[in-house]
Amino acid sequence: MFSWVYGKITDIRNALYEKEIYKSFSLGAKTVSIGNITVGGTGKTPLVAFVAEILAEKGEKVCILTRGYGRENPKQRVTVSDGERILASVKEAADEPFELARKLSGKAIVVADANRVSAAKWAREKFGVTAFVLDDAFQHRKAKRDLDIVLLDATNPFGNYKTLPRGILRESLSNLNRADLIVVSRSNLVENVEELIKQIRKYNFKCPIFTCENRILNLVELKRFNAQKQTGENIKKEIDQAKHGQLNSEVKNQKALAFCALGNPENFFEQLRRENFNLISTEAFPDHHFYTQKDIAKIEAAAKAAGAEILLTTAKDGVKLKNSSFETPCRVVENKLFFEDEKGFLKILESL
């Protein structure tokens, strides 16, 4: 009953936007929205970074606008990065915006603000922004966009096909017809991605559909991860290593405990297994969780009990562990998106 009511409310809201009773506003620059139709992790942050990097390489002054879920003061506008320097702490920014700011140093401004329209006007005036990337904005219809990208997780694209609170859908699947482009993430983790594409076509028969997967580029010691600044040269080296299978082969053979605080932690663990890490134990925390010393003690105890020689975690978790220390060596797993048809995806971005 509650799911039916929730679905009806979102359908009515969408209808009001379609009839222009509710107004949408231009952000005054090229605008790409990246969002999803479900709650939980779909691999959205890597796609936001990928799109921002491409736009920056094309000469755009890029700004990522994000709500910054889980930050200390959600009503306050926070400049996470001015494009060169990180200006906020992880708690002020939230984990995903901070991760984006770190990854996109020298390439994109990152601003956390629930009101994307107001934040866009401010960012244009302050930084001369020429392109916006909206993070998690498929349902944020107040902001107009030139390209509406929806990300679906191949391992759990629709849940039980029910809207919140009984399911994971934020709105009914018929609303996929608003998408200009659909990206299926983690396509390598399912046996038949073509069958999923057929299902998607029931709701959107015309938009381009691309598949992609996350691949591990590097394993960085935790302290070095939080000290280093990513550069184009470093990233290119890591991509070359990934293509040639030169990724820290000695670490793969060590007994590992993996831990994370993600919307879908099992995807991270399964990725490690598929890439032949010797994963003997896992620990999952709630999405966006900020670690305490008690949590670290729990992880250390689990590692000791399992006989783990190394700890593995994600970049999203790594940025929240800057002031933490582990007795067991801890490495951060750095990923990058790889598209099956990257040229086709880039062609659409360039058409903007």
Query: Three-state SS for 42?
Result: coil
CA atoms within 13 A on the CB side of 156: 17
Which pLDDT belongs to residue 296? 97
Longest CA span, the chain: 61
pTM assigned to the model: 0.91
**pLDDT tier for residue 352 given thresholds of 50, 70 and 90:** confident
Beta-strand relationship, 78-81 and 330-339? unpaired
Residues 6 or more apart whose CB falls under 8 angstroms from that of 140 comprise 33, 35, 116, 134
In our burial notation (b when 16+ CB lie closer than 10 A, e otherwise), range 157-189 reads: bbbeebbbebbbbbbbbebbebbbbbbbbbbbb
Which pLDDT belongs to residue 247? 57
Domain ranges of the chain: 2-213+340-350, 215-337
Residues 6 or more apart whose CB falls under 8 angstroms from that of 214 comprise 43, 46, 185, 186, 271, 335, 336, 337, 338
DSSP 60-106: --EEEEE--TT-S-TTS-EEEE-SSSB-S-HHHH-HHHHHHHHHTTT
The pLDDT > 70 percentage for the chain reads: 94
Burial tier of 235 (Cβ tally within 10 Å: 0-12, 13-18, 19+):
middle
pLDDT above 50: residue 232: no
Which pLDDT belongs to residue 241? 47
Which pLDDT belongs to residue 32? 98
| CATH class held by domain 2-213+340-350 | alpha beta
In our burial notation (b when 16+ CB lie closer than 10 A, e otherwise), range 101-139 reads: bbbbbebbbbbbbbbbbebbebbbeebebbbbbbbbbbb
121-130, 212-221, 243-252: the lowest-pLDDT one: 243-252
- Measure the CA–CA gap between 128 and 126, rounded to whole angstroms: 6
Burial tier of 40 (Cβ tally within 10 Å: 0-12, 13-18, 19+):
middle
**pLDDT tier for residue 294 given thresholds of 50, 70 and 90:** very high
pLDDT in tens, 326-350: 999 999 999 989 999 999 999 999 9
Query: Three-state SS for 11?
Result: helix
Residues 6 or more apart whose CB falls under 8 angstroms from that of 324 comprise 222, 291, 293, 296
- Measure the CA–CA gap between 214 and 192, rounded to whole angstroms: 17
Fold of 215-337: Rossmann fold (3.40.50)
Q: Scanning the structure block, which residue is given the tokens 């392109």?
A: 131
| Residues recorded for the chain | 352
pLDDT in tens, 62-99: 999 999 999 999 999 999 999 999 999 999 999 999 99
Residues 6 or more apart whose CB falls under 8 angstroms from that of 261 comprise 284, 285, 286, 287, 288, 289, 291, 316, 317, 320
pLDDT in tens, 169-209: 999 999 999 999 999 999 988 889 999 999 999 999 999 99
